[in-house]
């Protein structure tokens, strides 16, 4: 059986993290290169802030899987934002389980994030996107004793203290602040983020679906790392799309509703 080695992500293997979800045939594609650079900028910042934010599973010295996480100090929990084994040849070999177990062992120890106390729980919000034959993220976590939070079947937690029941702190959803100069144009918000595929798979798809409706409308890209004030004054973040001074709320993969919302924004 192939040996699985778990390593924390540090400066020397950040590129492995940035490339793990990019198909080898796409690594020279300009859009995927941008995605990798966006993730690298995000990863460097996370490493500076938290010192520990991701782990990689290596099989025969090849990155085979990853887990990414972030502490939430005011709740004393650690949020898992992604766990992924992208290539089918590494499925069902135990890489994801070893990644999760390694993180559990880490957060059971006293942590500087929580004033040298251990985490109370791991928390995650799963989403569909598994490939045919791949175990869905929700099923992976529930098989490992993660519990559902309230009524959302995709919002899960794993208690690390006996009897602890996680109750999330309610947070206000950001509200777009329209700007006069946003009328008659499109803004797409890009910049450092946790997913190498986001730029090529989601943001460029936004651009493509917009162009199918309005080939001539000006499209501006706002990079949150270079134009932070432009994003801040609009109260927007990565992946947001503004059309004619209106925030598009439909998800881009829901093409029908996404494009209908664009048409409605352009009519007003």
| Class (C level, CATH) for 4-159 | alpha beta
| pLDDT tens track for 22-51 | 999 999 999 999 999 999 999 999 999 999
What is the model's pTM?
0.92
| pLDDT tens track for 78-131 | 999 999 999 999 999 999 999 999 999 999 999 999 999 999 999 999 987 788
Q: State the Cα–Cα distance between residues 234 and 54, nearest whole angstrom.
A: 31
Q: What is the mean pLDDT of the chain?
A: 95
Statement: residue 1 has pLDDT above 80: no
Q: What is the model's pLDDT at position 172?
A: 83
Q: How many helices (H) and strands (E) does the chain have?
A: 7, 11
C-alpha distances in angstroms, 157 versus 75, 126, 130, 198? 13, 11, 20, 25
> What is the average per-residue pLDDT within 152-175?
91
Q: State the Cα–Cα distance between residues 232 and 216, nearest whole angstrom.
A: 27
Q: State the Cα–Cα distance between residues 108 and 118, nearest whole angstrom.
A: 5
The dihedrals phi and psi of 189, each to the nearest 5 degrees, come to: -95, 120
Statement: residue 174 has pLDDT above 90: no
Statement: residue 215 has pLDDT above 90: yes
Residues 144 and 97: beta-carbon distance below 8 Å: yes
Q: What is the model's pLDDT at position 212?
A: 98
Structural domain boundaries of the chain? Answer: 4-159, 180-267
| CA torsion through residues 33, 39, 40, 42, sign | positive
Question: Which residues lie closer than 8 Å to 18 by C-beta, 6 or more apart?
Answer: 36, 39, 40, 43, 196
> What is the average per-residue pLDDT within 212-216?
96
Residues 68 and 25: beta-carbon distance below 8 Å: no
Domain 180-267 is of which CATH architecture?
A: 3-Layer(aba) Sandwich (3.40)
């Amino acid at each position: 059986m192939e040996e699985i080695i778990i390593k924390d992500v540090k400066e020397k293997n950040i590129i492995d993290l940035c490339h793990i979800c990019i198909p080898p045939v796409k690594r020279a594609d300009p859009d995927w290169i941008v995605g990798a650079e966006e993730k690298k900028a995000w990863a460097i910042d996370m490493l500076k802030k938290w010192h520990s934010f991701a782990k990689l599973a290596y099989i025969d010295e090849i990155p085979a899987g990853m887990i990414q996480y972030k502490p939430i100090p005011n709740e004393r929990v650690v949020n898992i934002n992604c766990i992924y084994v992208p290539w089918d040849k590494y499925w069902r070999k135990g890489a994801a389980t070893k990644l999760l177990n390694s993180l559990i062992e880490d957060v059971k120890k006293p942590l500087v994030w929580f004033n040298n106390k251990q985490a109370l729980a791991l928390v995650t919000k799963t989403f569909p996107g598994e490939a045919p034959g791949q175990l869905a993220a929700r099923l992976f976590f529930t098989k490992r004793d993660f519990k559902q939070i309230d009524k959302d079947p995709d919002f899960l937690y794993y208690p690390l203290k006996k009897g602890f029941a996680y109750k999330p702190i309610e947070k206000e959803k950001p509200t777009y602040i329209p700007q006069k100069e946003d009328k008659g144009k499109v803004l797409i918000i890009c910049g450092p983020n946790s997913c190498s595929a986001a730029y090529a798979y989601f943001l460029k798809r936004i651009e493509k679906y917009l162009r199918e409706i309005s080939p001539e409308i000006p499209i501006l890209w706002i990079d949150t790392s270079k134009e932070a004030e432009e994003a801040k004054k609009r109260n927007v973040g990565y992946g947001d799309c503004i059309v004619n001074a209106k925030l598009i709320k439909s998800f881009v993969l829901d093409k029908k509703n996404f494009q209908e919302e664009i048409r409605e924004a352009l009519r007003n």
